[in-house]
Amino acid sequence: MSDVFPLILILSILFCSLVAGLVFGFAVVVMPGIAKLPDREFLLSFQKMDGIIQDNQPLFMLVWVGSIIAIITAIILGIENLDSDQNNILWLGTGLYFLGVQLPTAIFNIPLNNKLHEMDIMTSEGSEIATFRLNFETQWNRWNRIRTFNAIVSVTILLFLLTKL
């Protein structure tokens, strides 16, 4: 086995764990916390938080994009360095990470965030704000819970693989 593969796997686990922690933090602290705010303030606070991400905050980008690059690199190196069972475990963890974390983020959470950024919260009517919030918050939280669960399970699978090296 190449000396590089275990290091890449550890880096993948680290970055995927940080992503899992981020979405977990939103699920159990951030969203329940801002849920207590009135509609307009809720939307403004979420818009401000997401604005930091959309401005390509460097550490966020390093972790989020780094998780993708590291796990793809692990798959490539795993083909040469792992036996069949180990490769199956790696593909399972990677597949769950991409299909259960990255895909929902791309097709649900990010489009919801973008719709929020397009909205002029300050000039919108109260009923429009309330309707938007209900739709946004319900969908965003649903998909965040799904990606949180999948992120935790995928990291657990990758940790299990690490114990098998």
Given 3-state DSSP classes, what are the helix, strand and coil percentages for the chain, each rounded to the nearest 5?
A: 85, 0, 15
- Distance, first Cα to last Cα, the chain: 9
User: What share of the chain in percent tops pLDDT 70?
Assistant: 100
pLDDT for res 1? 75
The number of distinct structural domains making up the chain is: 1
Report d(CA 21, CA 99) in Å as an integer.
Answer: 18
pTM: 0.96
Report d(CA 67, CA 102) in Å as an integer.
Answer: 10
pLDDT for res 145? 98
pLDDT for res 2? 80
Domain ranges, residue 84: 4-163
Residue closest to 154 by CA, chosen among 20, 5, 24:
20
pLDDT < 50 positions in the chain? none
Q: Got the DSSP string for 51-106?
A: HHHHTT-HHHHHHHHHHHHHHHHHHHHHHHHS-HHHHHHHHHHHHHHIIIIIHHII
Q: For residues 144 and 26, is the Cβ–Cβ distance under 8 A? A: yes
pLDDT for res 147? 98
